[in-house]
Amino acid sequence: MLGPQRRFNVAKPFELEVPEFEHLTYQVEDHMGIVTIRRPQALNALNQDVLMELAAVSEVITQDPLVRVAIFTGEGRAFVAGADIAQIAGLEDVFAAREFAILGQSVFNEIAALPVPTIAAINGFALGGGLELALACDLRVASRKAKLGLPEVGLGIIPGFGGTQRLPRLIGRGRALDLIFTGRHVPAEEALSLGLVNRVGEDALETAKELAAVILKNGPVALALAKEAMGRGENLDLQEALEIEADLFGLACATQDMREGTRAFLEKRPAQFKGE
């Protein structure tokens, strides 16, 4: 479980080592950790190197006490156009293909488990592995020109980075089967109506930043605990899930952020949360 003191409260100057990335950039802006995948010549397609860098940047975000919301986006006209087809075509047997799928699943599981809210800023094509990356984020915003889909069956394969599992959990089995069986590309407005994205705007990154700014007004420990409660409880029966919620509610009430939040409400002023 996330320890509020361990994640946000830094008692001494903190120097974070950020590795050099070849295929992505990482920057922190107003408590937003912004990850931009930069392989535009391949429409940001995911090969093994990109996946390993996404795993590394996830570790950076986990350790960075300045980051309270993480945003993932892509450079150019694609968010991520999918897994690298050349690499998939080179998979020689069942075992190699399975290992590639497990790599993608593991990386996206790390992103899903980040202790801060995560937003996919879908600036263009989010297909195959790209949509699976977006599905691993907590929230998704799309530009009006975005196209989303899982077209793998047209290549004679199936989604392998979590798409067959996360998509039906998000939009329902029937709608997910429609998208997977047809392999069609869904425009942003239809994605919004399906519940596949949360918001649509002219500029995906700016829309994501606006959403993040609203989230950042709230207590960072409370956000982390709310995310943990939903994640741990979603596959349990209701009573077990409610017990987890009660435990985490108790932890939230033991924080200085709770004292500040309730005091600020009673004093009719904005709260100044410190993540403690």
Q: Is the pLDDT of residue 50 over 70?
A: yes
Residue where a domain terminates, one of 196, 215, 234 = 215
Examine the domain organization and report whether 145 and 234 are in the same domain.
Answer: no
CB contact at 8 A, 128 and 83: yes
Q: Is the pLDDT of residue 4 over 50?
A: no
Residue where a domain terminates, one of 197, 215, 233 = 215
Residue pLDDT, tens place only, 193-202: 999 999 999 9
Query: 274 lies in a domain?
Result: no
pLDDT averaged over every residue in the chain: 93
Instruction: Give the model's pLDDT for residue 146.
Output: 97
Residue 276: pLDDT band (50, 70, 90) is confident
Examine the domain organization and report whether 246 and 120 are in the same domain.
Answer: no
Examine the domain organization and report whether 205 and 227 are in the same domain.
Answer: no
Number of Cβ within 10 Å of residue 39's Cβ equals: 23
Examine the domain organization and report whether 32 and 164 are in the same domain.
Answer: yes
Residue pLDDT, tens place only, 145-196: 999 999 999 999 999 999 999 999 999 999 999 999 999 999 999 999 999 9
Query: 48 lies in a domain?
Result: yes
3-state SS string for the chain: CCCHHHHCCCCCCCCCCCCCCCCEEEEEECCEEEEEECCHHHCCCECHHHHHHHHHHHHHHHHCCCCCEEEEEECCCEEECCECHHHHHCCCCHHHHHHHHHHHHHHHHHHHCCCCCEEEEECCEEECHHHHHHHHCCEEEEECCCEEECCHHHHCCCCCCCHHHHHHHHHCHHHHHHHHHHCCCEEHHHHHHHCCCCEEECCHHHHHHHHHHHHCCCCHHHHHHHHHHHHHHCCCCHHHHHHHHHHHHHHHHCCHHHHHHHHHHHCCCCCCCCCC
Q: If we measure between CA atoms, which residue out of 177, 191, 59 comes closest to residue 122?
A: 191
Query: 271 lies in a domain?
Result: no
Examine the domain organization and report whether 73 and 92 are in the same domain.
Answer: yes
Query: What is the value of pTM for the model shown?
Result: 0.92
Domain total of the chain: 2
**Integer Cα distance of 259 and 219 in angstroms:** 11
Examine the domain organization and report whether 100 and 115 are in the same domain.
Answer: yes
Examine the domain organization and report whether 232 and 110 are in the same domain.
Answer: no
Instruction: Give the model's pLDDT for residue 174.
Output: 98
Examine the domain organization and report whether 125 and 246 are in the same domain.
Answer: no
Examine the domain organization and report whether 68 and 168 are in the same domain.
Answer: yes
**Integer Cα distance of 208 and 205 in angstroms:** 5
Bridge partners, residue 35, by sequence: 26, 72
Query: 114 lies in a domain?
Result: yes
Say which CATH number the domain at 64 has: 3.90.226.10
Q: What are the catalytic residues?
A: 132, 152
Examine the domain organization and report whether 135 and 36 are in the same domain.
Answer: yes
Residue pLDDT, tens place only, 73-109: 999 999 999 988 888 889 889 999 999 999 999 999 9
Domain span holding position 239: 220-266
Query: 275 lies in a domain?
Result: no
Residue where a domain terminates, one of 173, 199, 215 = 215
Instruction: Give the model's pLDDT for residue 8.
Output: 52
Residue pLDDT, tens place only, 119-145: 999 999 999 999 999 999 999 999 999
Say which CATH number the domain at 228 has: 1.10.12.10
Q: Is the pLDDT of residue 24 over 80?
A: yes
Examine the domain organization and report whether 45 and 119 are in the same domain.
Answer: yes
Q: Is the pLDDT of residue 53 over 60?
A: yes
Q: What are phi and psi of 98, to 5 degrees?
A: -65, -40
Q: If we measure between CA atoms, which residue out of 27, 4, 24 comes closest to residue 16?
A: 27
| Range 2-15 average pLDDT | 47
Examine the domain organization and report whether 145 and 235 are in the same domain.
Answer: no
Instruction: Give the model's pLDDT for residue 10.
Output: 43
b/e code 7-22 from CB counts within 10 Å (16+ = b)? bbbeeeeeeeeeeebe
